[in-house]
Amino acid sequence: MKVAVVGATGLVGTKMLQVLEERNFPVTELLPVASERSIGKEIRFKGKPFKVVGMQDAIDARPSVAIFSAGGSTSLEWAPKFAEAGITVIDNSSAWRMDPAKKLVVPEVNAHVLTENDKIIANPNCSTIQMVVVLKPLHDKYKIKRVVVSTYQSVTGTGVKAVTQLMNERKGIDGEMAYKYPIDLNVIPHIDVFLENGYTKEEMKMTNETKKIMEDDSIKVTATCVRIPTMGGHSESVNIEFENDFDLEAVKNIIASAPGVVLKDDVANFIYPMPLTAHDKDDTFVGRIRRDETQANTLNCWIVSDNLRKGAATNAIQIAEYLMSKKLI
């Protein structure tokens, strides 16, 4: 199993290498790929050094799978070239997510849509991934009508530059700004670019991607996405309106039984998920589960997951694991 990791020196690419190693993915040959300025640098994988190579060299090496985390423009240019060479691409950028010809996959939710003909597979937005793994089993049971979500997203979702900005601010150091405003002791209700409808692109990603992954355009989703000065994971306050009424204990049992989901909901003992809970874990954590007392058939919950792992690297590698298990790569 020859594996290329494109964007291997970035924040998510580094996490992909870590997750590949931890999950013991059967890598027989690793091809770390990065931009021209990184070619020749060394990265370590399973205790061994590997030299970073360029895009064309990676294609010429014909890996079975190439896991991309190198930004949308790079994916648009290079993913088709990998695919034309018969290499299966799993892409972490937003480039292909809403392309009707490409599959958008969270393995616990819709891996069944994948076939051997899918040569470019899109990895969803981090905030969408952690939400749909919780929504799917509830939708199957009670049918979701509407979701209202507010996110509390870690600076790690922006990248190394944002982490550096936060740490510089905490130390009183002037430095390069990833955001228009300070992030320490602040929250910024602005992730990605603003669109004509007043929503940000991140907010519309959550709306559109949820419908595509859940295979149900009738689900209404409205989002407000906010950047906060935390590490370790993204948090979401989610209000879910169902067509059918529910029993609260049954809901908790469904969530606790969902693959990749951990119930942390014991307010009497102050047990609920936080970014500290999720940090460096592959699971999605759910707590603060309660009935919305202002509206029938409606539930409130709090969802937390490590955005670099399940929100990016782990989900991509789980797609590769599924493809391998079904002999699709």
CB 244 within 8 A of CB 299: no
Residue 52 gets the label, from left (phi > 0), alpha (psi -120 to 50) or beta, of beta
Q: Which of 139, 225, 234, 301 is catalytic?
A: 234
CATH class of 127-307: alpha beta
Q: Under DSSP, is residue 206 helix (H, G, I), strand (E, B) or coil?
A: helix
CB 119 within 8 A of CB 305: no
Residue with tokens 């064309």: 56
Angle, helices 201-214 vs 126-142, to 10°: value is 40
d(CA 268, CA 196): 45
Helices (H), the chain: 11-22, 55-60, 72-84, 107-110, 126-142, 160-171, 201-214, 248-257, 275-278, 314-325
Q: Give every residue of the chain whose pLDDT is below 50, as ranges.
A: none
Cα angle 306, 177, 10 (rounded to 5 degrees) comes to 45
Element holding 66 (H helix, E strand)? strand 65-68
d(CA 164, CA 97): 29
Give the start-to-end residue ranges of the domains of the chain: 2-123+312-325, 127-307
Q: Under DSSP, is residue 224 helix (H, G, I), strand (E, B) or coil?
A: strand
pLDDT at residue number 2: 97
Residue 54's closest CA among 73, 28, 72, 78? 78
Active site residue 234: yes
Active site residue 225: no
d(CA 209, CA 172): 39
Compute CA 39 distance to the chain's CA centroid, rounded to the nearest angstrom.
27
pLDDT at residue number 149: 99
pLDDT at residue number 9: 93
CB 164 within 8 A of CB 244: no
pLDDT at residue number 123: 98
CB 299 within 8 A of CB 135: no
Q: Which of 112, 126, 225, 301 is catalytic?
A: 126
CB 288 within 8 A of CB 252: no
Residue 51 burial (CB count, 10 A): 11
CATH for 2-123+312-325 (2.60.40.10, 3.40.50.720, 3.90.1720.10, 3.30.1330.200): 3.40.50.720
pLDDT at residue number 118: 98
